[in-house]
Amino acid sequence: MNKVSICQNEDHGKILLGIKMEDESASLQDLLDAWQPLCDDTLIHKEYAAAFHDACKACQVNCCNTAYVIPDLIAFKKIAAHLTIGYPDFIRQYFQQDKLAAGLLRLSPDPCIFLQERICSIYELRSLICRFYICTPLHGETEELIYKISWAGGAATQVFAEQQGLLNQTGNSSRSSFDLLFLNLLEEYRHTKMVEAFLLAENYADIPLKLFL
């Protein structure tokens, strides 16, 4: 039996997707294993896909063009390893410079630096915020769960970078209101067990899903 399953329910004419944890020992990897088929599913409704039905990997609308991606710590480490560069060079070459000055680790956008010929070039290693985003209506509890996981992962990257002396912690006066919103959210998550789990983990399988429920 799968430790995590995906359920579909109708609400006011809309089909909403939800997550059900079948086993309390489920990990974040179990959730990702259950979630990935949704990204590849061309049958479920996707608001911005071609004719409302397409695989995310083949999507040409590309939320990747404008997304504000602070990668989770597992993805951060794995992408750097894939590129065979150290963390300082990874940050210098692949992250938005003015956001670094503001104390934020945002991947270079407009479009995402890893978007090549409108297709993600690191699809198997992409960040959690990218993995979880499908333009399909979700149950409120599922949306909240994904929000928590994505923010905890991003906050862990910020904490790790600060611990390693890789990130400006004081920022500067050029911070936008949007930057401040992100920084405030990251502060809310900084000292939680959720972030601690990311800091201690080598893979998503090391992170208990129940921490986020």
Q: pLDDT per residue over 186-207, tens digit each?
A: 899 999 999 999 999 999 999 9
Cα–Cα distance between 106 and 125 in angstroms, integer? 16
Q: pLDDT per residue over 106-145, tens digit each?
A: 999 989 999 888 888 999 999 999 999 888 889 999 999 9
Host H or E run for residue 6:
strand 4-11
Q: Where are the beta strands (DSSP E) in 72-162?
A: 115-116, 119-120
In this predicted structure, which of 50-59, 66-75, 137-146, 175-184 has the lowest mean pLDDT? 50-59
Q: Let me know: does 151 contact 186? Beta carbons within 8 Å.
A: yes
pTM (2 d.p.): 0.91
- List the beta bridge partners of residue 20: 5
pLDDT score of 173 more than 70: no
Cα–Cα distance between 162 and 171 in angstroms, integer? 12
In order of 5, 21, 207, the CA distances from 1 in angstroms are 9, 11, 20
Range of the domain at 62: 4-212
Total structural domains in the chain? 1
- List the beta bridge partners of residue 17: 8, 138
Degrees, nearest 5: CA angle 148-130-41: 110
DSSP 8-class letter at 182: H
